[in-house]
Structure 1
């Protein structure tokens, strides 16, 4: 059975979203949600979930290069917990500390969606080997 999976690059100002499926194991950028407030953010995400019907959500977990946690690590975990609580879908965290190596340092809407696709692709690659 082919499953749709969403990937998220959480940020305080923007959240990049990617999608992919378990048949191809390929991720692609979908969109960016401007994180004005929680109600608007989750309403927009909810509409995307209703439209695409993913069966799993993947959230990038930022860390320092040495693996140590920082403020954004906790925020990303909280976001993952909120996704699970609001949409009752399985949510997995993926170590994203090396995803920034393959995208430019400049942030922006297109880059955030690409970062989400890198996070989701890492999830697919990690699970293809299991």
Structure 2
């Protein structure tokens, strides 16, 4: 595994899909944008442009789960979206628990910019994607490094 890796993260939704980028050295993520979607299908040309610009080595997609960790009906739709990304770009896609990411994003936006900013759903979705990615980088990526270093 190389030292520096670039990641993209998606917070999947039926009307909007938040997108963030991050990297492995600082394990930080930055919200990029929210893509409009129709019934969960984004404009794939926009996704192509994001992939071309950022050239990610891995993808993280937030996996919606119930608070008890069980799957919900939306979990399957998100998994299908992740599979579409994997197939279209031949890239490793990780699903990561996204419980409470939107609540955390809304709280952060409220703290920084007040309640009026919460009406900008695009900001919430993109920040949620960044929160999902940072959580994955702090947890799963560290575990991957630990396993690969011991091999």
Q: TM-score, normalised by structure 2?
A: 0.79
1:79 aligned residue (65, 81, 88): 81
Q: Does 1:16 align with 2:7?
A: no
Give the corresponding residue for 1:67. Answer: 69
Alignment partner of 2:38: what SS? coil
Is there any run of 5+ residues in structure 2 with no aligned partner, and where? 108-117, 147-151
CA distance in 2, matches of 1:100, 1:44: 23
Give the corresponding residue for 2:134. Answer: 121
CA distance in 2, matches of 1:8, 1:85: 16
CA distance in 2, matches of 1:47, 1:104: 27
1:68 to partner: Cα distance: 1.5
Stretch moving more, 6-15 or 62-71: 62-71
Could you list the structure 1 runs, at least 4 aligned residues long, displaced by more than 3 angstroms after superposition.
Answer: none
Q: Does 1:111 align with 2:124?
A: yes
Q: Does 1:89 align with 2:103?
A: no
Please list the CA deviations of residues 64-102 of structure 1 after superposition, one character each: whole Å capped at 9, or x if unmatched: 101111121111100000000001010000011132341
Alignment partner of 1:103: what SS? helix
Please list the CA deviations of residues 14-56 of structure 1 after superposition, one character each: whole Å capped at 9, or x if unmatched: 0000000111110110111101373x52221111101110010
Aligned residues: 129
CA distance in 1, matches of 2:131, 2:13: 15
CA distance in 1, matches of 2:101, 2:123: 15
